[in-house]
Amino acid sequence: MPRHTRPGPVQDQGEEMIDLDGSDLSDGSGQEEDKEQRDQEQIMAIILPLPPDADIPALCKALSLAQRALTKTDADLHRVKKELFTLTAALPPKKRKGILNKSHSLNESIGQVAKKFAMLYRLWVIDGLFPIVNNTGVDLSSMTCWASPEAKRNAVITKLFTIMPRVLTKEIHAYKAFSSVFTSALNQERSNMLRAIKEASTLVFADKIQ
């Protein structure tokens, strides 16, 4: 009798690998890597200076990219603020006051780390960065630290720990709001940078846009 074998995975052009029984065999790492690459290309397109002889379409495109990035960042910030307000409103008044007073200085310290991280390393938080268990301590000079999504995550964690005060290294595990505070502060700093770039671009290229 012929043996019945389980159908193997098939892959259509441009599609993720899907098993015939309906299970998804893709781990999504490729999509995350592509998204990060697109984000990086967009950031570089915004911050790289245009040549002095750039034409009007190139200037308009650069300003359009900056405007879209600024608008998206502003929308993300409003969403995070709305979520924070909702969570805060759900707490009893006494508990809310105690938590906010206790965490205020801690949030400021985390915000300073996020700003420094944005200026030195990255303008966004990669997918899957949090929760962080410990310092990965990888060699940032090695090319292998960027060879895979997991390697990239470990490299970013190492970068984060290089600028983090020792007093905060314990809070990264204990403080449940660490990731949200860090992400919010990083998004705000990116928004400030993009706004400054937009304002500077308008002044620098004012004579060419008119």
Task: Please provide the DSSP assignment of 90-152 as one string.
Answer: TS-HHHHHHHHHHHHHHHHHHHHHHHHHHHHT-SSPPTT--S--S-----TTSGGGGSSHHHH
pLDDT given for residue 183 in this prediction: 92
Indicate the domain borders of the chain: 53-90, 93-204
Residue appearing with tokens 């905060």: 168
DSSP conformational letter for 170 = T
As a residue count, the chain comes to 210
What is each CA distance from 100 to 106, 111, 178, in whole angstroms?
A: 10, 15, 14
Pick from 108, 114, 84: nearest CA to 193? 114
What predicted TM-score, i.e. pTM, was given to this entire model?
Answer: 0.49
- Walk along the chain (210 residues) and give the pLDDT tens digit of each residue: 444 444 444 444 344 433 334 444 444 555 666 766 776 777 776 667 777 788 888 888 878 887 887 888 888 888 888 888 787 777 776 555 555 555 778 888 999 999 999 988 888 888 888 888 788 788 888 888 888 888 889 899 999 999 998 888 888 878 888 999 999 999 989 888 888 888 887 777 766 655
pLDDT given for residue 142 in this prediction: 85
CB 116 within 8 A of CB 163: yes
pLDDT given for residue 26 in this prediction: 45
Pick from 62, 70, 122, 100: nearest CA to 181? 100
DSSP conformational letter for 2 = P
